[in-house]
Amino acid sequence: MNTEQMYLLLRDSILRNAHFTAGELDLVMSFFKVRATVKNERLLSRNDICKNLYFVCRGYIRIFNELDNGNDITRFVAFENEFGTAMPSFICQAQSAASIDTPEDSYLLHISHSDFHFLLDSLPQWERIYRINLEKAYIASVQRVEMLTMMSAREGYEFLLSHFPQVVQRLSNKNLASYLGIKQETLSRLKSRR
Amino acid sequence: MNTEQMYLLLRDSILRNAHFTAGELDLVMSFFKVRATVKNERLLSRNDICKNLYFVCRGYIRIFNELDNGNDITRFVAFENEFGTAMPSFICQAQSAASIDTPEDSYLLHISHSDFHFLLDSLPQWERIYRINLEKAYIASVQRVEMLTMMSAREGYEFLLSHFPQVVQRLSNKNLASYLGIKQETLSRLKSRR
């Protein structure tokens, strides 16, 4: 994937939700930098302050909570054409409870917190883009709470399959099980039943 | 609490986060209607479409998931000076997985989905108000996921006490236990230990 293709993906994604003049769009693009990562590369560690918002062109980013026993719990994933980062830390510029990595070789565009806020203050349409992506992330988080509190292992798995099939298809069994809040053996049983 | 006091609270809350001209502020206010509720009054039932966003002037609203066994799980609460509703349903104008009630006698202002979107399209500063409140709600939801997946009962309780003390102080033991994802007996033990 070359740089031009990456910026085209970002441009298309943005224009789907808001109107920008050519000059405004060029301004937005000028703040995004390219980052290519290898499988399992770490982008943020727990307790660091998250300085970047990512747009995924290929691969995906995984936001996860590390546990003291060496395991971790997948909290959020963003795939191609999606924005993502450790949002609470990015928003508050406070230490992050979560870490970020790229489970696949990935091509990302990223914008710094200060450039992001410069755009928020300069372009009302950028606020709209952000708001729409926040809505999506918020809904996914609420559904995650419902999955953890109300749904059986099977219901949670079926919900993911129908609403977020990529999560089921692309996450490792270990990461998917932690996302569902179930044991890996339970997940294997659910998968083999289908 | 009289109507004038209610609109003053809303006005102050909005001006804390954005700049409006007097005319714009009057426009915003004109879309909010008063609603007074009694204890445990129902504002939304599961499977209905959530048509209103609420601003709490006194009391609080509780968003909860009803279970088939007659119990429910508290998913979100909004207290005085906070906005809240069954957001996924309000955003998508789709059937709500959650219900809403007011566990205390409450004074609310509410705006309809269509008026809300009229303001989003008319006033960039309204988009900002919404975005800032979405960020707060999103962070609370992410912390809820972390509470359910990573924290012990005691850690979750301590986290709420330090970050959202009103949740601990004002929710009934039953509702607080379901918010923490723990049994009522466990909660009673935690409370008595302090």
Tens digit of each residue's pLDDT (9 = 90 or more) over A97-106 = 999 999 999 9
* A interface residues, B as partner, C-beta within 8 Å: 65, 67, 73, 75-76, 87-88, 91-92, 97, 124, 127-128, 130-131, 134-135, 137-139, 141-146, 148-150, 178, 181
Q: How large is the average pLDDT for residues A44-59?
A: 98
* B interface residues, A as partner, C-beta within 8 Å: 65, 67, 73, 75-76, 87-88, 91-92, 97, 124, 127-128, 130-131, 134-135, 137-139, 141-146, 148-150, 178, 181
Closest partner CB to B87 (pick from A65, A130, A138) = A138
Rounded CA-CA distance B85/B62 in Å is 8
ipTM more than 0.90? yes
Given a cut of 70, the residues of chain B with pLDDT beneath it are none
Whether residues A135 and B73 touch (CB distance < 8 A) is answered with no
Q: Which of A89, A138, A155, A183 to mutate to test the interface with B (most CBs of B within 10 A)?
A: A138
Closest partner CB to B131 (pick from A130, A142, A181) = A130
Nearest alpha-carbon partner for B167 in B55, B79, B42: B79
pLDDT of residue A68: 87
The residue type of A11 is R
Structure-derived torsion over alpha carbons of residues B107, B112, B113, B116, reported in degrees to the nearest 10: -90
Between strands A61-66 and A72-78, the pairing is: antiparallel
B chain contacts of residue A181, beta-carbon cutoff 8 Å: 148-149
pLDDT of residue B68: 87
In this prediction the pTM is 0.94
Which one-letter DSSP state was computed for residue B171? S
Q: How large is the average pLDDT for residues A18-33?
A: 96
Neighbours of A52 (CB within 10 A): 20
